[in-house]
Amino acid sequence: MKKVSITALITTAICSSLYANDGIELNNGYKVDGDVRVGYVKYDVDNLIDSYGTYFSSKISLTTPTTNNFFVKTTVAGVTDFGINNPNYEDRNLVFDGNEKSSFAMLQELFINYSNKSNTFKIGRQELVTPLVEADDGYFLANSFDAIDYTNNAINNYTFHLGYFYQMAGVWDSGANGTEFHSMSDASFVDARDKKNANNSGMFYGAVEYKNDKHQLKIWDYYTKDLYNMFFLEYTFADSSDNFSYETGFEVVNFKEVGDLASNNYTNINYSLYSAKFDGSLNNGISFSTGATKYTNGEGTGATLGAWGGFPSYTYGFAYSFFDVASLRDATIYKLQLSYDLGKLGLDDTTLTYRYTNYNLNSSYSDSQDYMRLNGVKLTYSSSNGSSLKMIYEDRDLDKAEDAFAIRIIAGYKF
């Protein structure tokens, strides 16, 4: 029945996409829109833990007309392989639940939105983007959150945020069964005993952001009772001339245990990471991105990084899950990236990117591993008519481990 319902969902999305590039306007102001994807994922580690598979996903949304500044949005979503994959080779694909390895469907969104000139208030199931907790749909299906989100921009150049996450679903970013909704504490990556002590805690957050023509400052703080607190600060400066534009900036992120988690030794969390970047682009289609990140000598990277979908660092590889280092504690990471806009050669909306990422590891914490080096190539296409394509290849050279490579190809269409 799961496969039948998901097949119907995908068929409906494909048929709908044939008639509209910007959603379908129904009677009385209602609107239908969605997203269809097909893709292939492969992780090859010298035949030791190979994983691969082909997947199909779809989302269909219905949005009501806006009445007295209110509207309601509902989204159903599903992912399937139509039974063509071998479950014995899907351990690392992060598309299905790691244990069930089967098709699934869910109510992805159901929220009420209120907006006026200075305020936006959303309550219900939704996809949200914040620095350390976000939708992050780099695979097939974005994370979804049962949340309350309030944004105020009454003061020029300033935006204020307040909110609360109760629970989430997301195969890529949840420490629980990502195909079902679990509390934020259960979806974290801490020890099972700490999850139990947290007793289904949610997460509160608040933020202030400032932005003008050249400067942007973001300050966010997230707090989960009996789990840990996350603090995020980012500053960027951007400028341009006739032939060159650039952006430079830095980030500070701190993770610190609180409450019951701080009073025991099941999980220890107390570290920071510092990142800096300098990115630029030329009018000839060439752009570059450089970055460096330093992790402090504190515990907890494995219990925090990747949880809930926030990846703020400037220096991750193309396939973030694609490493098996024991710990990034006291590590230093460097990134060099070059891109070329293939529109200069007549391939509109297409970009080719090469990225090199060098992880200098502290062997005292990383099972005697001194380094990990990633080389990746990405081809992206995204057009105004809703079609898109992302092709990623990345190889890994990890000290005292087998060589490996990853492939991710996803074609999609939004309507």
Alpha-carbon distance values, 321 to 30, 37, 173, 309, 325 (Å): 39, 21, 10, 12, 11
Lowest mean pLDDT among 105-119, 308-322, 331-345, 394-408: 308-322
Complete domains list, the chain, with CATH = 1-113 (no CATH), 116-240+256-270+295-314 (2.40.160.10), 316-415 (no CATH)
Rounded CA gap, 279 and 248, in Å?
6
Comparing 99 with 112, the larger pLDDT belongs to 112
Q: What is the DSSP letter of 217?
A: E
3-state helix, strand, coil in the chain (%, to 5): 10, 50, 40
| Residue 141 pLDDT > 60 | yes
Rounded CA gap, 192 and 185, in Å?
10
**Residue 263: φ, ψ to 5°:** -95, 0
| Residue 17 pLDDT > 60 | no
222 neighbors 230 (Cβ within 8 angstroms): yes
| Residue 130 pLDDT > 90 | yes
Rounded CA gap, 145 and 54, in Å?
26
Give the model's pLDDT for residue 319.
82
Region 370-390 average pLDDT: 95
- Considering only CA atoms, which of 282, 64, 310 is closest in space to residue 173? 310
**Residue 301: φ, ψ to 5°:** -60, -40
| Residue 182 pLDDT > 80 | yes
Residue 217, CB-side half-sphere exposure with 13 Å CA sphere: 5
Give the model's pLDDT for residue 140.
87
| Residue 6 pLDDT > 80 | no
Rounded CA gap, 390 and 378, in Å?
7
For the ranges 19-33, 106-120, 310-324, the maximum mean pLDDT occurs at: 106-120
With bands split at pLDDT 50, 70 and 90, how would you rate the model's confidence at 20? low
Region 385-398 average pLDDT: 94
Q: How many CB atoms lie within 10 A of CB 277?
A: 20
Sign of CA dihedral 305, 306, 307, 312: positive
pTM above 0.85, yes or no: yes
Give the model's pLDDT for residue 138.
78
Residue where the block lists tokens 């119907």: 8
Give the model's pLDDT for residue 9.
53
Question: How much is the CA Rg of the chain, to the nearest whole Å?
Answer: 22
With bands split at pLDDT 50, 70 and 90, how would you rate the model's confidence at 263? very high
With bands split at pLDDT 50, 70 and 90, how would you rate the model's confidence at 2? low
Give the model's pLDDT for residue 392.
96
Sign of CA dihedral 347, 349, 350, 353: positive
Region 159-179 average pLDDT: 95
Q: How many CB atoms lie within 10 A of CB 212?
A: 9
Per-position DSSP letters for 34-63, written without gaps between them: EEEEEEEEEEESTTSS-EEEEEEEEEEEEE
Give the model's pLDDT for residue 14.
55
With bands split at pLDDT 50, 70 and 90, how would you rate the model's confidence at 11? low
Give the model's pLDDT for residue 234.
98
- Considering only CA atoms, which of 120, 82, 86, 121 is closest in space to residue 103? 82
Lowest mean pLDDT among 16-30, 181-195, 231-245: 16-30
